Structure 1
């Protein structure tokens, strides 16, 4: 079981992995994901305060008050297009080994949510020969 002091990081991980403009998480969904991931049961007010902590740290989170649906991480380190462009560049480079290529791409894909990662594997992925 994780400690409550790690809650902002847990909320951030969930938002990074599971949310975007098309996949908005409700308050109840976020609370359920927190409990499944960390074993910590929290109330709505605790969730709100942890989201506020993330916003104070510079993360841009679209909230229920903004969209009437729930929460999602609005701005990420890289956009989906940037990640796909970088992955294609890695695939095209002949001086990067297959093992290094896979490791770099895995790290880049971690910056996307699970839905965009699936899109990458379905549409773009080709092994670096």
Structure 2
């Protein structure tokens, strides 16, 4: 992936809207227990861009929960409807985007399933893309 993209997204109620611009770095389905708890599903589909994030509306409605014992995990969401929203990781110049918040399909597909060793037995099959037991190096 070496193309600069502009991706737009919003929350379920439409209060929060954003635009992210940058080069896609990673697009993973994460099966870790934290992502399952945060989404209420079998995995989270997370996209990372090397780039920037702009809030077009609703920034004041955002809430953020950071798991105290986690090195990398936090959950940014709309305070009105609870939809997961992006997070700018400014120190790394990265934007974390919950792919379900995108308004249109991105021009690229997930690369891998991560934390496959934590996958719930009822969650989706792993035969479609590369799998890693934990976070890839």
Which is richer in helix?
Answer: 1
Structure with bigger strand share is 2
Larger of the two Rg values belongs to structure: 1
User: TM over 0.5: same fold?
Assistant: no
